[in-house]
Structure 1
Amino acid sequence: MSGVPVTPRAGPPGGAAGGGTARPRLSRAGRRTAAPLRGGRGERGRERGRERDRERDRERSGAMSDIRHSLLRRDALSAAKEVLYHLDIYFSSQLQNSPLPLVDKGPTDLLEEFLFQVPKERGAPPKRLTPLQELQLLEIMCNYFQEQTKDSVRQVIFSSLFSPQGNKADDSRMALLGKLVSMAVAICRVPVLECAAFWLQRTPAVFCVRLARALVDDYCNLVPGSIQTLKQIFTASPRFCCQFITSVTALYDLSSDDLIPPSDLLELIVSWIFEDPRLILITFLNTPIAANLPIGFLELTPLTGLIRWCVKAPLAYKRKKKASLSNGHAPNKIAKDSASGEDRDCHQLYSKLHLSVLQVLMMLQGHLTEKNLYGRLGLVPFDHVVPLVEDINRLSDELNPLNASKEIELALDRLAQALQVAMASGALLCTRDDLRTVCSRLPHNNLLQLVISGPVQQPTHGALPPGFYPHIHTPPLGYPALPAHPAHSAHSVQTFIPGMTFPYRPIR
């Protein structure tokens, strides 16, 4: 501090006896000179903070190393159970400091090595659990999530276990997740199903589709009749059912015969939705929502996928029937009757599903207004309507219009109804010019022409001023009122004459 001008300041009354030595006060020039010194002290403080963080990381890494060495001495099941125990302690302490704790590399490495059996040493052969050990591991995990009472800890640990990391452990991670959720469905472990519902909501759609395929294989393809077990979780975990429907509609897009949903799965989903159409809005109603949704994840509702099912089903089943007839093997009468009866049942299910979807679309206006998202969030994105129209156009060209006129007409009728109700409720945000451009190449359909060209009367909407129409609506024309029709003159009553003959001549 030599060379810095200092202005002495008097101490408190009483001198040293009254409070100690006087504190020097810097003059203006001294303050300017001392500013770099204060900056240096701030930089040293930040460096000390970084050093403390590095020290904490070293301690944590050392602790994880100690845990790993202790786990290596255990058998596979005991080590997996111990990993869950340490994760529980780790994340419980983390959640006390932050509502969204970060998953460090140390816990992730322990999970991959001792739960997913991915060796840490490069080039080492992967470990394999026996089927019995795998079943016991699934039971351990189910029991852990069932017994953990804190929902936040459950969610964080489930996410750390099964969130894709983009490495070689993802295949093992997804395989174990499919078996865990399948077991949770079989024994009705609601906490696991709820965690899986949140996982489906926060994970890229490509992984959600893999989980949906695993469940469909287990409950629709492997064991006949096991679909009833899946049907019973409707009351146990509606949130999981909603997310399952969304992922299934993303999986089965009817683009080929292999991607037509199995009849058992279709009946299951229609029974759920027909019993309570609000089921498909559960995620939307219980999630904080921004107007801009992330790309590459499942949609907030399965509405777009269900509309795709209802609209494309008549054409997809006609294409499937045409392919079976053109392969050179004519089916016998029993097989033909069975196939036609199954197709008839499926068409009735799609009709019920279409009605339920229209009912849900009509509910949306109030919900969007309540969340202040009316006119801002399209739950039926226009970007998804465009490929749907292209698929209909392509299928119509593939099928001979002379032999598939009824199916084409039904598909276009359903498309027109869905577009009309979605626009009127605010679920589809687009202009009529956009629709006319997209639908211009479709076969002619009277109802579709009315929807894309005629005015739509705006329903009563409390959030909008009187006379205001959103850009998706065309204001009705102001026709003049017609004068009242004059009353007709009264006619005289004709008397009944019973004696009058009536010439009746029977037709021979």
Structure 2
Amino acid sequence: MGDIRQSLLPRDVLSAAKELLYHLDIYICNMVQSGRQPPQVDTKTLDLIEEFILHTPKDRNAPVRRMSALQELQLLEIMCSCFQEQSRDTVRQLMFSALFNLQGNQADESRMALLSKLVSMAVAVGRVPILECAATWLQRTHRVYCVRLAQVLVDDYCSMVPGSGPTLQNIHSASPRFCCQFITAVTTLYDLTSEELTPPLELLQMIVSWIQDDHRLVLITFLNSPLSGSQPLSSLDVTPLGGLIRWCVKAPLAYRRDRKPTSSDGSSDGAPDAARLFSALHLSVLQVFMLLPTILNEKGLFGRLALLQMESVAALTSDLSRLLDQADKHTHAATADAHAASQLALDRLAQALQVAMASGALLCSREDLRAICSRLPHNNLLQLVLSGPVMYYNNIHTPPLAYSPHAAHSPIPSHAAIPTLPAHTPHTPLATHPASHAQYPAQPFMSGMPFPFRPGH
């Protein structure tokens, strides 16, 4: 494609970008049709993308070509139409990669800016092909950039424009893959270490409603990805389970530290009660864990693959220990409320560890677990988990597994059921949590005006 540069130079910025996208589509279609393995866009084509779409000068003396806000909006509409009209997913994915895979050069900032605007528009107008491509991008890209994209979407739909949250909520049904990756990214972004890094209540309520509606949602990336040992350490986790547990465990202390009630009843401008939402989220996360034994057995991975990493648990217990120390220093005198918040955080940690171990999501010895939790204060439930056998919490209602990653005649043999462990002295059962919360009413996507993809001459 390098020979078309001379024809693009005289054009205005929008016309040149439009023409290049058209030729890029044809180039990738021909490459896929030829069966070239692996299909890879050449360096000359990537240079054209940087010059005429991302507007990175080819040399220092070249004038910088910039788009007006209106031209940029028109380009985003052209790109939406381009991906919508292309029926082959392989072509779409290669085209998205050519446009937005980070190259480690000065064009990356332009890539991120354009990508964020494109994905935000795709959410608004319901362009599922772009959301599917963005889900793959989130799966393969360094987590630093993934959380930047997530931050833009949270700002656009939960902060800047009041009442726009239901539009974002619809990604649950439009693209479950993207929704799963978005949850993983926001749980990585918001680690509850400060008020700025505490999830907005509107976002929290949205995530709770998504997971309550379909517990398998947080497992979609795991269920639909080929399993390999080559997962980059810098990428997002394969599920958001670790981040969700961190939210639930740290919330009683973090929200007590950061949230200042604005009315006599402790509510904040009619916003959903954070404690109630985190309680519902904690129950949903435990129910997700209860789905895992069947799934891991079907994949032949029970006892071999840890979806919850020990490093994540160690980091959580370290953060929790620090939060508990801070709470003690700021309280000066142990109040009943402060003690209750501390015990709730420890109870949730104990419940999560117990169910994660019983479901095969956490693989570790009791000795390792005791070492990790050694700095935490005494908690009756946690003490039982650290010293007693792993048992299932059969009182958690788990919906039937409607999706199996393998067909009925799976080549993977079925595994024996996990033997029943000896009973021990019963301990405090999981607290009863509220029933499902009110959902946002379903909102249809905006139907965007068709925008011709083929450039005019």
Give TM-score scaled by structure 2 length.
0.83
Alignment counterpart, residue 268 of structure 2, candidates 333, 339, 359 = 339
Q: CA RMSD in A?
A: 2.4
**Alignment deviations for residues 364-412 of structure 1 (CA, whole Å, 9 cap, x no partner):** 1111111122112111111110010000000000012613111110001
Structure 1 SS opposite 2:273: helix
- How far apart, in 2, do the equivalents of 1:177 and 1:201 lie? 15
1:219 aligned residue = 157
Amino acid across the alignment from 1:413: D
- How far apart, in 1, do the equivalents of 2:198 and 2:418 lie? 46
**Alignment deviations for residues 155-190 of structure 1 (CA, whole Å, 9 cap, x no partner):** 000011101000010001000000001101111011
Alignment counterpart, residue 244 of structure 2, candidates 302, 306, 327 = 306
Structure 2 SS opposite 1:225: coil
Alignment of 1:423 onto 2:357 = yes
Alignment counterpart, residue 74 of structure 1, candidates 11, 24, 27 = 11
- How far apart, in 1, do the equivalents of 2:37 and 2:217 lie? 29
**Alignment deviations for residues 119-151 of structure 1 (CA, whole Å, 9 cap, x no partner):** 111254533211100000000000000000111
Aligned counterparts, 1:281-292, within 5 A = 281-291=219-229
Deviation at 1:459, TM superposition (A): 9.9
Structure 2 SS opposite 1:456: coil
- How far apart, in 2, do the equivalents of 1:242 and 1:307 lie? 15
Structure 1 SS opposite 2:237: coil
Amino acid across the alignment from 2:350: A
Aligned counterparts, 1:57-206, within 5 A = 64=2, 66-95=3-32, 96-206=34-144
2:321 aligned residue = 393
2:383 aligned residue = 449
Larger Rg: 1
Q: 1:106 to 1:335 in 2, by over 3 A?
A: farther
2:187 aligned residue = 249
- How far apart, in 2, do the equivalents of 1:143 and 1:160 lie? 17
Structure 1 residue ranges without an equivalent (≥5): 1-62, 325-330, 470-474, 480-508
- How far apart, in 1, do the equivalents of 2:50 and 2:265 lie? 51
Matched length: 400
Amino acid across the alignment from 1:171: E
Query: Does 400-409 or 178-187 show the bigger shift?
Result: 400-409
Structure 2 SS opposite 1:257: coil
Percent sequence identity is 60
Amino acid across the alignment from 1:366: T
1:354 aligned residue = 282
Amino acid across the alignment from 1:223: V
Structure 2 residue ranges without an equivalent (≥5): 395-412, 426-457
- How far apart, in 2, do the equivalents of 1:455 and 1:420 lie? 9
Kept in 2: contact 1:291–1:377 (CA 8 A): no
Deviation at 1:338, TM superposition (A): 4.0
- How far apart, in 1, do the equivalents of 2:43 and 2:302 lie? 42
- How far apart, in 2, do the equivalents of 1:465 and 1:169 lie? 53
Q: 1:457 to 1:274 in 2, by over 3 A?
A: closer
1:46 aligned residue = none
Give TM-score scaled by structure 1 length.
0.75
Structure 2 SS opposite 1:426: coil
